[in-house]
Amino acid sequence: MKLEKNRFGDCMAKIYREDDADLGFLKGKKICIVGYGSQGHAHALNLRDSGLDVVVALPEWDKDYWKKAEKDGMKVLKLEEIDGDLIAMLIPDMVQPGVYKKFVEHRLRDGSTILFAHGFNIHYNQIVPPKNVDVIMVAPKGPGPLVRRMFLEGKGVPALIAVNQNSSGRALKIALAYAKGIGATRAGVIETTFKEETETDLFGEQVDLCGGVAEMIKMSFEVLVEFGYQPEVAYFEVLHELKLIVDLIYEGGIFNMWKAVSETAKYGGMTRGKRIFTEDIKQEMKKILREIQSGEFAKEWILENIAGRPVYTKLLEKEANHPIEIVGKEMRKMIPWLK
């Protein structure tokens, strides 16, 4: 495969930096962060430390989050009191539509902004905001605690940014100001769409990051154990050592990994890897992507939630009881640098 000709200098995507963003687009506006979990706490604190006017909204029953936010000096509102020029939906994706319908929709007014950190609910029409508001996304490419830590160190976590509805004519400027407020423009912010962010996110976690990696580890473990090798030895080989390889890839790309491993690993890996990841697998990946694009996966997952997650619960239980988990629990006790 070949990459398309560059549209923006060395990068193919549009990337915004510190100077492209102006906090002024949020000055004098009231920002309401709904949720104080992974992303919520980091956004709220970073925006406040950037000099913006921030409140947090939480369900009354969630006492721990409520206490944490108050301890951090945030003003906390009940969901019934949600109000602001910009409302950021930073609660789990599956509960957002219900909270939106009950507590947010009637609070939106002409020129309001509603912000997401993931495109699922907008892209699959689980939330349909009125036409007179801006709908934007600022999605950090890292967990909330890292977003906070980098900010405190004067750095930032890269983020994706998107505009789905630009009623005010300033939606992109507002999204950039928010990205600057949480520190993301210090690292760089990539422009995308709700569609691209949602579909690539689901594809990545299904075939590569979560689904793909978990099956690859379990299957290679099973093969070694079925051939009579000790499960403890297999565990270290197929799971534990994966971190070293992923670290090399993360820090410098796949070729960086090839450079670091032995000559035998290079030759064996380059000739055998292709026999595992065959054209059939690529065809299946395309099928999975089409299920994401058509909305078939989203529908399945939404219905699964409505039904009380019967399939999800069964599968999760099976994962928890896989032999590699049992061996792994023991083996990790031998590793002093793991808590």
Q: Candidates 43-51, 196-204, 220-228, 305-313 — which segment interacts with Mg ion by CB under 5 A?
A: 196-204
Q: Check residue 39 for interaction with ligand NAD (CB under 6 A).
A: yes
Q: Which phi and psi angles does 15 have, rounded to 5°?
A: -120, 125
| Chosen from ligand NAD, Mg ion, none, partner binding at 201 (C-beta under 5 to 8 Å by type) | Mg ion
Of 199 and 201, which has the nearer Cβ to Mg ion? 201
Among candidate residues 41, 43, 118, 123, the one labeled active-site is 118
Joined together, the tokens standing for residue 290 give 């089409």
Place of tokens 């060395």: 10
Catalytic residue at 118?
yes
Binding residue for ligand NAD, selected from 29, 59, 170, 218, defined by CB under 6 A: 59
Of 26 and 137, which has the nearer Cβ to Mg ion? 137
| Chosen from ligand NAD, Mg ion, none, partner binding at 46 (C-beta under 5 to 8 Å by type) | none
- CB–CB of 158/188 below 8 Å? yes
- CB–CB of 201/208 below 8 Å? no
| Chosen from Mg ion, ligand NAD, none, partner binding at 147 (C-beta under 5 to 8 Å by type) | none
Strand pairing of 53-58 and 30-34?
Answer: parallel
Binding residue for ligand NAD, selected from 87, 114, 118, 234, defined by CB under 6 A: 118
- CB–CB of 187/155 below 8 Å? yes
Beta-carbon contacts of 313 under 8 Å, excluding residues fewer than 6 positions away, are none
Binding residue for ligand NAD, selected from 114, 133, 139, 202, defined by CB under 6 A: 139
Beta-carbon contacts of 93 under 8 Å, excluding residues fewer than 6 positions away, are 118, 120, 121
Q: Check residue 179 for interaction with ligand NAD (CB under 6 A).
A: no
Q: Check residue 99 for interaction with ligand NAD (CB under 6 A).
A: yes
Place of tokens 């934007």: 136
- CB–CB of 141/179 below 8 Å? no
Q: Check residue 70 for interaction with ligand NAD (CB under 6 A).
A: no
CB of 98 to ligand NAD, least distance (A): 7
Q: Check residue 93 for interaction with ligand NAD (CB under 6 A).
A: yes
DSSP per-residue string spanning 249-270: HHHH-HHHHHHHS-HHHHHHHH
Q: Which stretches of the chain bind ligand NAD, using CB under 6 A?
A: 35-40, 58-59, 62, 65, 90-93, 95, 99, 117-118, 139-140, 143-144
